[in-house]
Amino acid sequence: MATTNEPAAGMLSALLQEDRRYPPSDEFKAQANWSDPAIYERAEADPEAFWAEQARAIDWFKPWDRVLDWNPPKARWFVGAEVNASYNCVDRHLQSWRRNKAAIIFEGEPGDSRVLTYRDLYREVNRCAAALKRLGVKKGDRVAIYLGMVPELAIAMLACARIGAPHTVIFAGFSADSISDRVNDCGATFAITADGGWRRGNKIPLKDTMDRAMESCPTVKTVLVVNRTDDARQVPMNEGRDVWWHRALADSGAEQVEPERLDAEHPLYILYTSGTTGKPKGMLHTTGGYLVGTACTHKYVFDLKEEDVYWCTADVGWVTGHSYIVYGPLANGSTCLMYEGSPDYPDKDRFWDIVEKYAVSILYTAPTAIRTFMRWGKDFPAKHDLSSLRVLGTVGEPINPEAWVWYREVIGGDRCPVVDTWWMTETGQILITPLPGITVLKPGSATFPFPAVKADVLDESGNSVPLGSGGYLVLQRPWPAMARTIWGDEERYRTQYWSRFPGNYFAGDGAKRDEAGYYWLLGRVDDVLNVAGHRIGTMEVESALVSHPAVAEAAVIGISHEIKGQGIAAFATLRGGYEGGATMVETLRDHVGDKIGAIAKPDKIFFTAELPKTRSAKIMRRLLRDIAEGKVLGDTTTLADPTILASIKQQYEESE
């Protein structure tokens, strides 16, 4: 695996020698939603007509006047239309036999389970929406949601969507500081959390963390608290601010709340993601185009059928959960499984136990998880009947061919197509992906842009590179679920994504196309890490480190990690009076955990008298990466003091 910023030459040549091919079976093709490759030409001939056709799968209160208004980089989709996401994900399914179809099958980590039919979901979403309104939430108000993977999370999101209050879901692994940063950035006035959540048999004290965050969130007036772990007595409720979810919903009774007729461009949610600065970006997604983009890709990328049991193992706290647990799948009226906990609780076969228990037919997970399962061995899946599976998907990071083939053979019985889907928080929907009834698969390749999506690979000067070479991945035409801006920072939206190659959306990923035009994703080309499929900015970790009194300076880089894809290595210089060593390593790891969340804790921390800097005092992370990769050090002539590298190198090698 490459470290950040490095052209992944070694990996690349290995990838391009990958000569295994997996065409769709005749049997799969015969039943596929799309099996005719002409769909690509049809979409390419008239992209707007293609999306308009897909938009007919959504229910609109008022039709659009124009499919698209495109003033780069500003897009408005389905201009003039009125729509509601909650109506599309819930109400409309009540008009057919689907009313009693399972919408959400919830499996709690302790082994409890709940099934919510579409009718149940309707009832709960209405009760929650009524409670939100009664407690003062109005159209346009931002609602922060900090919950584990429980049905109330989806219910809360849909209730917000129903009344037109954009939600901002904060991953339950984030710290109090991360919560308050996000809440304050978007000025949320209302928050929803739980007493706790279950993880590896432990109760995660969500409410405690929320309480600490609320100390610096003056805008939040009310916190709704779900009782998940029956800790009611231990959880202190703040008079006048905290309200139990079950009480508030009981007060709603059977009240129904009309879904707001919202403009297609009404904000649906804000979701924060890491960038190249210390401050996460609040990506703003709107309603109409987002529903079209997510529902359509969910249906065709996974070859969704009415009777499928679909399981996306992501957390709803990330975009994958927003688009492919909540909005896309529920808009399609599908049955979605939602699992609360860890894959190794109570044992390492929990996923396979769930697949067997509910006869899951579509499984969507991350390469990190697959590599973990590989390490645990075939015996765990072998204990279970996995014959219900028919389509497998991956997302979040590049998948190595070995893991791809293992997934296909061991989990998919060598019968299920594996769709490697590339997209981002910013893109809202899958953009580069196989179509399982059409594409001849190559292990490790996300294959081709989805119909009507126009991608390219550019060199430094913005020229398209020939097939067989690599460069920067860009998108050259708007797509319906694209983020519309960064909340409160239009300027950053423009410079971050649209200025590197004017007129092109700059993804920040390296990619290569092979001679047949297949796309191979190579990882980030900026200061963003991808740790176990989670995006973390090196600057965020650096600012967390230097906020500790012991740390004078810090530099953070990505390092290869067998399971997580990337790990985090930090190099720190300490202030006078502080000493490095194992205790300081733990102190700083915990500090980063407190500042950001456990996912950002560095795997390795090195102490050094100085960081390698240019004479103009710029930290040369490239040299640190060379050390981490065991490479011959690149050009060191611009270094102010070349001798410090030797000592860093020695420490690093001793740590291996």
What does the binding site for ligand WT7 look like in residue numbers (CB under 6 A)? 273, 319-320, 395-398, 420-425, 446, 507-509, 521, 523-524, 530, 535
**Tally of CB atoms within 10 A around 610:** 16
CB neighbour list of residue 160: distance below 8 Å, 6 or more residues apart: 129, 132, 137, 143, 145, 166, 167, 269
- The residue among 396 and 412 lying less far from ligand WT7, judged by its C-beta, is 396
Cβ(172)–Cβ(146) below 8 Å: yes
Cβ(571)–Cβ(559) below 8 Å: no
- The residue among 475 and 521 lying less far from ligand WT7, judged by its C-beta, is 521
**Tally of CB atoms within 10 A around 409:** 13
To ligand WT7, the closest distance from the beta carbon of 565 in angstroms equals: 9
- The residue among 304 and 424 lying less far from ligand WT7, judged by its C-beta, is 424
To ligand WT7, the closest distance from the beta carbon of 239 in angstroms equals: 38
- The residue among 331 and 528 lying less far from ligand WT7, judged by its C-beta, is 528
d(CA 560, CA 376): 20
CB neighbour list of residue 465: distance below 8 Å, 6 or more residues apart: 457, 458, 459, 471, 513
To ligand WT7, the closest distance from the beta carbon of 451 in angstroms equals: 18
To ligand WT7, the closest distance from the beta carbon of 377 in angstroms equals: 25
- The residue among 157 and 446 lying less far from ligand WT7, judged by its C-beta, is 446
- 3 state DSSP class of 609: coil
In terms of Cα–Cα distance, which of 129, 136, 55, 33 is closest to 90? 129
β-strand partners of 531: 534, 565
CB neighbour list of residue 542: distance below 8 Å, 6 or more residues apart: 278, 554, 555, 556, 570
Cβ(80)–Cβ(264) below 8 Å: yes
Look at the chain and count its residues.
656
Does the N-terminal peptide bond of residue 346 adopt cis geometry, omega within 30 degrees of 0?
yes
To ligand WT7, the closest distance from the beta carbon of 103 in angstroms equals: 23
- The residue among 259 and 328 lying less far from ligand WT7, judged by its C-beta, is 328
d(CA 522, CA 2): 8
- The residue among 284 and 605 lying less far from ligand WT7, judged by its C-beta, is 284
To ligand WT7, the closest distance from the beta carbon of 398 in angstroms equals: 4
Phi-psi region of 517 (alpha: psi -120 to 50; beta: other; left: phi over 0): left
CA atoms within 13 A on the CB side of 569: 24
In terms of Cα–Cα distance, which of 39, 81, 433, 47 is closest to 289? 81
To ligand WT7, the closest distance from the beta carbon of 250 in angstroms equals: 37
Cβ(454)–Cβ(477) below 8 Å: yes
To ligand WT7, the closest distance from the beta carbon of 97 in angstroms equals: 33
CA atoms within 13 A on the CB side of 546: 13
To ligand WT7, the closest distance from the beta carbon of 141 in angstroms equals: 25
To ligand WT7, the closest distance from the beta carbon of 602 in angstroms equals: 19
To ligand WT7, the closest distance from the beta carbon of 547 in angstroms equals: 24
Helices (H), 359-467: 367-376, 379-382, 401-406
- The residue among 303 and 509 lying less far from ligand WT7, judged by its C-beta, is 509
- The residue among 116 and 395 lying less far from ligand WT7, judged by its C-beta, is 395
- The residue among 236 and 517 lying less far from ligand WT7, judged by its C-beta, is 517
- The residue among 299 and 524 lying less far from ligand WT7, judged by its C-beta, is 524
- The residue among 54 and 273 lying less far from ligand WT7, judged by its C-beta, is 273
- The residue among 116 and 457 lying less far from ligand WT7, judged by its C-beta, is 457
β-strand partners of 536: 529
Tokens representing 290 are 């987002």
To ligand WT7, the closest distance from the beta carbon of 273 in angstroms equals: 5
Cβ(74)–Cβ(505) below 8 Å: no
d(CA 117, CA 467): 49
To ligand WT7, the closest distance from the beta carbon of 626 in angstroms equals: 22
